[in-house]
Every structure is written in C-alpha cells, then in structure tokens.
Amino acid sequence: MRSQVIIIGGGPSGLLLSQLLNRAGIATVVLERQSRDHVLGRIRAGVLEHGTAQLLRQAGVGARMDAEGHPHDGCYLAHDQQMVRVDFTESCGRQVMVYGQTEVTRDLYDAQDAMGATHIHGVRDVVLHDLLTDAPFVTYEKDGRQHRIDGDFIAGCDGFHGVSRASIPAESRREYEKIYPFGWLGVLSRTPPLMEELVYANHPRGFALASMRNDTLSRYYIQVPLSHRVEDWSDDAFWTELRARLPDSVAGRLVTGPSIEKSIAPLRSFVSEPMRWGRLFLCGDAAHIVPPTGAKGLNLAASDVGYLFEGLVAHYGGDGEALEHYSDRALRRVWKAMRFSWSVTTMMHRFPDHGPYEQRMQQAELDLLASSAAARQAFAENYTGLAF
Ligand code: APR
Ligand code: PHB
C-alpha cells in the first residue's frame, strides 16, 4: 500500500490533519491502535481557542460546533471568597468555544467517513522505517498479519505513549519535564453547570474547577494528592469537597447528581525537541503535554496540525523549503502555551512545599488580575489563544 502522508494515531491531531489534507487533495492513511469506540469513549477537555475553532471550520467540521457549542466571553478566577472575572471580549476582542473534545473527535470521524478517508484501527507493533530518506515506510501487524505502507511523510500523532517520538534516536532528542505533586480528580455529571462561565478556584483546601459541556452536562475537578485513588472518592465526598472549595457566593448554586465518569489524572509539563526528524513530524501529545489548567492540550495539537498542514500543502505545491521551519514554528508556540499553563497552575494550586511566601505571591497575582486591565489582557490573550 502507498499513501502520501502516513498518520500514526487517530486522536484529534491525526484526525484533523487527515481531514485538512484530504480536503486539499493530499492522500493519507490513519493507523490507530484502538477501536473507534474506544477513542470516542475518552472524556477530555472542552475549551477551544479562537484559532482552533477557525481551523475546525476550515476543515469543514465547524457546523455542529457552531450550532451546539457555547461561545464564552470570559471566566472567573476565585481566591477563597473573592471572584475576579476576566472578560475576554473586552480584554482582547476574542472568545473561546466550549465544545467537548469527544464531540470534536466524533465530528472529525463523521467527516472522514463522508469523504471515504482510509483509517485502519486495531494496528499492533507499528514501526517507522527509513525516516532520514525520501522513502520512509511503516510496518504494522493487524489480525495476525504483517503489513507495509510506503509514503512521502509520516505524521506522529500518536500521543504521549506512542511510538513516533521514540523513533527519534535518544541522542538527537532533548526532553524537558516537570511533574506536579498532585493530580485532578474529575467528575462528569448530568447536572446544570454551576455558572454560565468556567470558575477556576484557588482555595486553602486546594484547587477546584467548575466547567461544563452544555446546559445539562457539567464537568468538575478538584486537586488531590497523587496517592489518592478514584475508588476512595464517593460521589458524596467529591461534591462536599468541591462545595467547600468554591466561594460561598456560588457554592450554594451547585447542583449535584450521580457521576457519569470519575477519574484522576496527574499533572505534567513535557516537551520533546525537535518536533521533526527527517521525514517524521510530531504533532500534539506525541511531542508535548501541558497541565490542564490553561486548557491548552487540544489547542496546541490544533496549532501543530495547522503548521504541518500549511507546510505539506506548500511542499506539494513545489516549495521545497516549506517544511524546514515546522519544528521551530511549532515549538515557539508550544513554549508560550507551556509558560501560560505552568503559570496558571502555579497561581491556582496548593503545593505541598509552598509556605506563606508563595501563598502571598498567589494572592498578589490574583490581585493584579483584579486591579490591572493590562494583566487581564495578557491572561485573556493567552487563554483565548495566541495567533498561529
Ligand atoms: N500506533 C497507533 N496508534 C497509536 C499508537 C501506536 N503505537 N500509540 C498511540 N496511538 C493512538 C492512541 O490510541 C490515540 O488514539 O494515538 C492516539 C493519540 O491521541 P491523543 O492521545 O488524544 O493525542 P492527540 O491526538 O495529540 O490529542 C491531543 O489534547 O486535550 C489534549 O491530551 C488531550 O488527547 C488530547 C490531546
Ligand atoms: C474541561 O471542561 O474539561 C476543562 C476546562 C478547562 C480546563 C481544563 C478542563 O482548563
């Protein structure tokens, strides 16, 4: 089998890249380890930057997002009893779109089906070959048989645990990592959201976030020690703890109900450089992980895909240099989103080694946001997404 671009991984990065390339007349094949139902069963974040929403429209998958998604003009940052609202529209003229990653993935699969794109699920033992030549190829096993696909390029969209990043020799990679000493316990519930906008809360008992998917589906998180197990958290215990961490002025509004999904995710910042190795290009979680506090994971995947798509279209249009700058361009944006995610994480969480000094720093940062339009503008620009 032969294709122009072989895409490893059928998560949001791989699907969006495939969709954009197919519409531009560039042939792709997507190799995914899991079944489609498994991919669609993952509950992930739900805030789309302005540029991500634009790219989805460009890919022809914006219709349901525009009909069912919720544009948000701002969010709240709470500190104990104080609530600071950052008005995105007033501060930087942009909004974000609240629309779940699961829905984005579903829309991409539907659009890919409609155009007859090639997706192969249930692949095993994917190996990338001859990446430093003009004729890379991929081998894999499916249903007990070995297969080979030849291509011009390989896009490594296979997430943090994928095979693509590991195909770059260790001595040619530089990794940067920060592990945070806590995780997020998340609950999805069929209940109306706490507020119309997201509330990020810094409380002496720990961080909490009140988010949503739509008018009847809410997503909540609380910071927990890494030693905690999800089985130890009953729904009641979760709601009690969440309520305790929200300002009194809004805690009374919380509507509780049975959890539909409950899980604990550790927080990590990670970048692997470069994002290109010969004919292999990494996109999304394969190259970097951000803590979820800034809502940047999916959005960084989208900007990587946007850069790679542009580069590939220019390459096939005859520009031999077009792909040379992919890694540098993508990494410049990645590091700025890393900085934002790290700074919001640091401002909003309780760290086991933080003392009174660090708490005062957090207070001062939140006070600055409350009192300075310039500080709110910087937050809003980063949250709604830097240009790409
Ligand atoms: N072969 C084939 N597929 C693989 C392999 C492999 N060796 N390893 C992993 N995969 C698949 C996974 O099953 C998964 O479906 O690659 C896909 C990667 O998807 P994600 O982990 O979702 O990563 P990405 O598409 O970059 O999405 C960006 O943004 O909100 C964040 O982490 C969140 O998933 C989100 C990410
Ligand atoms: C979510 O709704 O899952 C969500 C929203 C904002 C974040 C992280 C997660 O920063």
Q: How confident is the model at residue 90 (pLDDT cuts 50, 70, 90)?
A: very high
| Atom of ligand 2 lying closest to residue 219 CA | 2
| pLDDT tens digits for range 145-198 | 999 999 999 999 999 999 999 999 999 999 999 999 999 999 999 999 999 999
* Domains of the chain and any CATH numbers: 2-73+96-177+268-345 (3.50.50.60), 180-267+351-384 (3.30.9.10)
- Predicted confidence (pLDDT) per residue in 257-278, tens digit: 999 999 999 999 999 999 999 9
Rounded to 5°, angle at Cα 184 from 253 and 214: 45
Give the Å distance between the CA of 47 and the centre of ligand 2. Answer: 6
Task: Tell me which residues are annotated as active site.
Answer: 72, 200, 292, 296, 383
- For the CA of 294, the closest atom of ligand 2 is 10
The residues that bridge with 253 in the sheet, in sequence order, are: none
3-state secondary structure at position 226: coil
| Closest C-alpha to ligand 2, atom 4 | 45
Averaged pLDDT of the chain: 97
Ligand 2 pocket (Cβ < 6 Å) reads 45-47, 198, 211, 219, 292-293, 295
- DSSP designation for 354: -
Q: Is the pTM of this model over 0.95?
A: yes
Give the closest ligand to the alpha carbon of residue 284.
1
How do beta strands 118-121 and 96-98 pair? Answer: unpaired
Best residue among 18, 20, 29, 32 to mutate for probing ligand 1's pocket (most ligand atoms within 8 Å of CB) is 32
Per-residue pLDDT, 42: 82
Q: Which atom of ligand 2 is nearest to the CA of 212?
A: 2
- Around Cβ 365, how many Cβ atoms within 10 Å? 20
Other Cβ atoms less than 10 A from the Cβ of 170: the count is 8
How far apart CA 136 and CA 129 sit, in angstroms, is 6
**pLDDT in the model for residue 168:** 98
